[in-house]
Structure 1
Amino acid sequence: MTKARILLVEDDQGLVELLTFHFEREEFELDTTPDGDEALLIARESPPDVVILDWMIEGTSGIEVCRRLRRLPETANVPIIMLTARGEEADRIRGLETGADDYVTKPFSPRELIARVGAVLRRVRPALAGEQLAYADIEMDLVGHKVKRGGESVQLGPTEFRLLRHFLEHPGRVFSRERLLDSVWGHDSDIELRTVDVHIRRLRKAVNIGGRADIIRTVRSAGYALDSEGAV
């Protein structure tokens, strides 16, 4: 099962090395940067599964990075864990009100942070919890390679199955065509971007059976998302 990819925004190099060791030992993928502006670029170009964000960093402050990530369609639903020496209640409240999902105060144990990451991932990425994926009225059996919507069987081709699985693992997240090519077809794929649109249309036709609401949302100039709230 694919492990989550984490973006660690931290300017304490010793802490970065410590966390890199512990997260990679747990088979997480880890991108790191000490700079808030670079973090925004990385997150926008290739949205991570979780952002661990220090409050006091180089460039744009952590709290402002959090605010901007929440405004970007690509990262609006990415879990953010604030990591900081600020322990005052007012600071914690400010971080949470800005959009952070959790708050860890230094000093802390790497095991605690890994546990916090696991907790937020289980809420937003059900693939980490077992062999069944579900969102709204869609159910996917990863072992039996079966899909149902509203209890009715949905017939999907292999590519549409992988595409839907990716969406189910990241419900609500907006993915660009480029990111979908990397994630579903693979980094070495020579497939054109418009091929993504073709398979999205096929997936829509299959899952919107019986006149059901379109659960795949198109975000202009951004990409696609699995979003029941946007269904019409």
Structure 2
Amino acid sequence: MNDTNLQGQKLGKKGRITRERIVVAARELIEDPDCEFSLSAVARHTGLRMSSIYTYFSDLPDLFLAVLEPVAEEAEEAYLHLLRTRWDDDAIDSCSTELVSAFHDYWERHSRLLHLRNRLADQHEKRVLLQRIAMARVIVRLLGWQMGGEPETVTGSPYDLASVLYTGLERVVTIATDIELKSHYPADIKPRFEGATLRQQSRLLALAIRDERAADSR
């Protein structure tokens, strides 16, 4: 968290409380489907003047990234740690299932925030796009390493495949956690996005890791 305001002044206790108050209000607005997320809405929600908001945040993406920061940090405990130990060959299936489940649960907890991040990134909001890429690179690097890639170079077939796998995983999970989309699922496909696609994603991940390890050993 920044310990200065946009004028470069070090935040005292009051300043830290005010900044946190703004961040909490922004998170509450994002989580409420009936509320608008804008700087003016945050000002109304907190009872602060717009000038006070601009003391701490230059614009809406700047505030959004402050809201996202602790959620991004949570990724390590939520699912990344599962990849930091190389999986035994006979545990690939169970470890893949555990990873996909943990990744889904993380998205489920922070659904509105992460979906908004992706929308802003898709709109080419550069700072948010770079944050999304940074988060993706960590898991791609670890997936590539699981498949036998060299962590020093982060290039080659394992990392190319890891990028494809992560793209598929994120897409499946974003669909499965899209609250508005869920409400419109036809009855015949609803079970598919309540678990079946996640199970198949786990299976695909395990097959890819096993195949890439086998190719690497030949």
Q: TM-score, normalised by structure 2?
A: 0.31
- Whose radius of gyration is greater, 1 or 2? 2
Larger helix proportion of the pair: 2
Q: Which has the higher strand share?
A: 1
TM-score where L is the length of structure 1: 0.29
